[in-house]
Chains A and B, each alone.
Chain A
């Protein structure tokens, strides 16, 4: 998934910490991207000097009364960035967390001779890199603010700064006197910053990092006060509800708006369609008829009264046909892979003289993003300014769409990003932003666009179905001697301006298990054509590959008639560092550790004896390590997930409470998806319409508890937003096999299990 964002401007500019004096004695510290030559006089964003929090233009603001406002740059889609990123800064600042409030910064963009300059740097959410990026540069913002406050206190007291210390929002003098940050902020703002960066704290002085904190927005959320984009209104905005063509290349066959325009409150009916030559996700997805009205109810009624016939596009594909193509290609020995992703040793030579061979094929369905908050956008487009409220994971990408459609200068476009009701990769695309801008321009009024649930389900950029075929060989000592993976899918990166030789990167990880553990290993990816539109999806490519690989490892154990934990530990071998290429390393000690932790917790020693089924799986993602163990029981045909245990090793843990929530949540998301979910289509038309036929798991289907074990560490932190996903489904399928003797090689699991029972 980390390759989906190749268009982002590289973070190559030199960074300088800037101190900016605000109004009323406020100290404002930011890290604008500025070149060395203009570091001294980079403009102060006007909005950050005002009272409106939305316009706050830097990371830290300390008011004279001692309250601290921290700005968070990465959208919070439920991934916890508003808490974790703020705490990284607050810890460096030695802030009193109870006096910290957090605001979403929205897009940070300045005009650099007509080109955008991203003044906050990293602003993308859900790719698992928010915390690593913050660790690299946001600590400096807090450290500098602390340094300035200490300088101010030193001058006031006439003692050297190194005899002072900071504690919970105060500078403490050698004699014990305390000076609240609020009383120092005015003076601190007038002190010149150091010419070299202030080094961040050493870990023994952390006060917040490593300590648990609940979601900073929790109170606002439980009182219904947390504003999502869909909750944003402006008085004069027209509400737009759309009816989309099921086919991106279809068109309007006939349209009669007479009855629609009779609905009280309906103002206008407009047609929009995709622009030619623009990559997916940056323009309208499919032709659409928009009903604009004074309120949502009128717009919905108006849409229901449209007499609208769509003309189908040129494609007439079905999901059944697609799966057959995928199965055919992995079974065709003469088929040429689009990419040989990995080729270690000599698989063919070893496989020919093998003592034992194991083969299996796994099929995973098309999936939708199914965000709780549907696509929506509030857009006000004036001649010399645009203000948009966008539920996005990537505000810089949203900016590009707005800029292209309006022609406005970089800094004339303001993009606000309140808390987002789920992203999962869907909101890396901005078709809905293009729609809102087009409509607002056409009616010359602000437009508040909202997709209904059926539109959200049928107008997605889907996760491709995948087929994995494995062939492994073993020697007489039960060692895996060769491993051959053939995977077929339709790339999520196609039609997005990504070169053909990079299309594989969304589908398979060159370093995934068991790379580095099996001397002869081949990993081929076969590219399938499809007219179904695809896009980045949560946890890809790890989720699909981990399900297939970790199910197959269990099948190897079964062929050896042994405990699958034993098989896994033999495969992992001695604790060691294995270079995987591209600067990546597999630390088998850490993987063995998480595996053993979940095994111990679920009492794996009962694996053979218990009437319930125990299953286990492990994986690694960009330097993070994860394992799941699942216990299942079967009452007649009813599958119960009795226990789920997950262990994660992400290096240093910023917020254990947040991490536990992310891991537990991703675990349940993965189980829900594996149990129930699939998208099907006929004549290139998606058949699912909403929660009834795309049923996220009910409370009853899910386990009562999720047990999360967090391995402490001191390496630089990795991301964790989807880390709990990859191993949950294979551990479940492996547990289902133990309890039912049904080996699930096709998802969704419940349907397949019932078919096989």
Chain B
């Protein structure tokens, strides 16, 4: 179950020193917040995000994440949330699409570029494109068309050429 760790100790409890109970569960950080998962630690991150935390921006893709709708960043690296049991994420930092915008709601430049280029069809695959494009831009601030060609995402609505424009818009901005 989700449990934020920033709770204050219960006031008025005894001062007696009690040995700390061995911790159960898996501690991980998602979008800057700490969580402890105390259920089945083989649960894939995808279902932990969606069923438990109700962070539903990361989408169901397929058995092994083919299609790229389920992409997240783990310690800054692109990963399929379908293929990652929570057990493997102890102490790791996860970023999902919900974690891209600033706390005040200002969109990440890549999100803004997707809006500006209207790089959206039905939108179901869009979070996956954002995470993969962000990973690409983290590795290559000025990606070539060939670099962009390597994005693993699939889209049936045909947003690919507009996604390419959005990535280039961000790359251009970074260069300026």
Contacts and interface: CB of A to CB of B under 8 A. Distances in A.
Interface of A: 76-78, 214-215, 217-219, 221-228, 230-231, 233, 239, 264-265, 295-298, 370-374, 419-424, 450, 452-454, 657-658, 661, 664-669, 672, 690-692, 695-700, 702-706
Contact of A696 (B58, B59, B122, B156): B156
Contacts of A703: 161
Contact of B123 (A217, A230, A295, A668): A217
Q: What secondary structure prevails in chain B residues at the interface with A?
A: loop
B80 interface: no
A38 B97 CA distance: 50
A510 to B, nearest CB: 29
Given A690-B66, A698-B154, A218 B118 contact: yes
A699 B150 contact: yes
Nearest to A265: B40
A301 to B, nearest CB: 9
A371 B161 contact: no
B63 A453 contact: yes
A420 B62 contact: no
A419 B151 CA distance: 25
Contacts of A668: 155, 158-161
Interface in B29-60: 40, 42-44, 47, 50-52, 54-60
Given A422-B157, A672-B158, A699-B150, A690 B63 contact: yes
Interface string B67-78: 101000000000
A76 B126 CA distance: 15
Contacts of B97: 222-224
Contacts of B43: 295, 297
A692 B162 contact: no
B149 to A, nearest CB: 4
Lowest 3 CB-CB distances: which A-B pairs, in order? A224-B57, A78-B122, A668-B158
A78 B62 contact: no
Contacts of B125: 372
A77 B161 CA distance: 19
Given A222-B107, A297-B51, 14 more contacts: A214-B116, A221-B127, A295-B43, A372-B67, A372-B125, A372-B156, A419-B122, A421-B124, A423-B122, A453-B60, A661-B162, A669-B157, A702-B161, A704-B161
Most-contacted residue by chain B among A691, A695, A697 (CB, 10 A): A691
A690 B65 CA distance: 10
A204 to B, nearest CB: 27
18 contacts: A78-B122, A215-B123, A221-B123, A223-B101, A231-B50, A295-B47, A297-B47, A372-B67, A372-B69, A453-B67, A661-B121, A661-B162, A665-B121, A668-B159, A691-B154, A696-B155, A700-B149, A702-B160
A222 B114 contact: yes
Most-contacted residue by chain B among A218, A657, A702 (CB, 10 A): A218
Given A296-B47, A372-B67, A419-B123, A222 B115 contact: yes
A466 to B, nearest CB: 21
A661 to B, nearest CB: 5
Interface string B130-174: 100000000000000100111111111111111111000000000
B142 to A, nearest CB: 16
B61 A373 contact: no
Contacts of A218: 114-115, 118, 120
B123 A78 contact: yes
Contact of A224 (B127, B149, B152): B127
A698 B44 CA distance: 26
Contacts of B151: 699
Given A669-B157, A691-B154, A264 B51 contact: no
Contacts of A230: 56, 59-60
Interface in B73-93: none
A370 B115 CA distance: 25
A372 B155 contact: yes
Nearest to A264: B40
